[in-house]
Amino acid sequence: MARLPRVYVENAVYYISCRAAYNEKLFKGEKDYRMYLELLEKYRKEYNFKLFAYVLLPEHLHLLIEPSPDVEISDIMHSLNTAYSKYFNSYYNRRGHLFRERFRACIVEKEGYLDSVIKHIHNNPVRLKITDNASAYPYSSTYLYSKKDYNYKEIEEALSIERYRKNISAESKDKELDLRKRLHRGGVLGSKEFKRRVKEEIQKNKSVSSENSKRRKNHVIGISLGVIVLLAFLAGIVKYLRFQPRSIPKESRKEAVPLASVVIKEIKDLNNTEWTVKFTSRNEGKSFPDTLSFVNGKFVSAWFHQDGFNPTNYSVTRSGNKIIWETMQTSGNATISWRGEIEANKMRGIASLRSKDKAQDLI
């Protein structure tokens, strides 16, 4: 089915599935599993989301997350999977995408479904014949329940260990198979009232997106609901830090001091810099300027920020003499994927802006 907008619904959790690219494994050894779990814990604290269950398998993984109202699930998964991909590609000296797609999600009502979905997640290693004992699998959250580890307050809040143990093997195989199919189809899993609330939130999301779309149509590049690919830019570095109030928080602006010169040689040098850029439309030949800022670990585009694309975390790697940065931003139904390469103090890059109905190429 079509991908649902990443909406926040009270008393709901996201069942997340991430799969490796074809002919690839997400986890090749113990170190990989441990790294993903460390990153999962890091971003759980940073984004303040609740983690009810997880399982890491060689070629895919499942998470059960309840995001906080002010953080989108897309931001959580982008930060988590980007950081892990960066580690994996560096450790195994590989290039390219590690994950087959961004991720798949099913919005699940907590009341009446939480126990069953947790059970489904924990039983994955048994179903795949990796082990015959779900509790013995080391890369899932079963130990949080079996050992009564209440460091995760969400477990203490939502579940009783006694109820969980009682229900862990209570469902029939037919019900389990039906649940698995419904989860993997995505969409919404819950009561009629819950589905109504989700639909209501989606409609609100679409209304906001529609307003943003109307404003974007007035821009020189004619951004509307569409699929915009291959947006390339050429930039020269500004010799001092000069922040735009609409893009940079006040606490960041007060730390901005003029610099005689800025030279990008190391990964750390990218932070607290600002770049002037020029975008050109491949189809129409039109161009427009933009300002890209990297401040306190956050990336922001002045042009797209006014359309609702808020500052995001970015990843940085080094390849020979090149400094490479990547990030992804979302606004309503639109997503921008950014990738830039810096060499000899010059930046070239590609940004892909995807929406829904229309295609336009920019260079």
Query: Which range among 63-67, 204-208, 209-213, 344-348 shows the weakest confidence by mean pLDDT?
Result: 209-213
Q: How many residues does the chain have?
A: 363
Give me the torsion for CA of 236, 224, 209, 235, rounded to 10°: 0
Residue 343 scores a pLDDT above 50: yes
Classify 12-209 by CATH class.
Answer: alpha beta
Query: Which range among 128-132, 161-165, 188-192, 283-287 shows the weakest confidence by mean pLDDT?
Result: 161-165
Give the domain ranges of the chain: 12-209, 227-361
Pick the more confident residue, 23 or 246.
Answer: 23
Q: What's the predicted TM-score (pTM) here? A: 0.56
Residue 238 scores a pLDDT above 50: no
Q: Provide mean pLDDT across the span 231-258.
A: 34
CA 121 to chain CA centroid, Å, is: 20
Summarised one tens digit per residue, pLDDT across range 147-190 is: 655 566 666 655 554 455 455 455 556 567 677 777 877 788 88
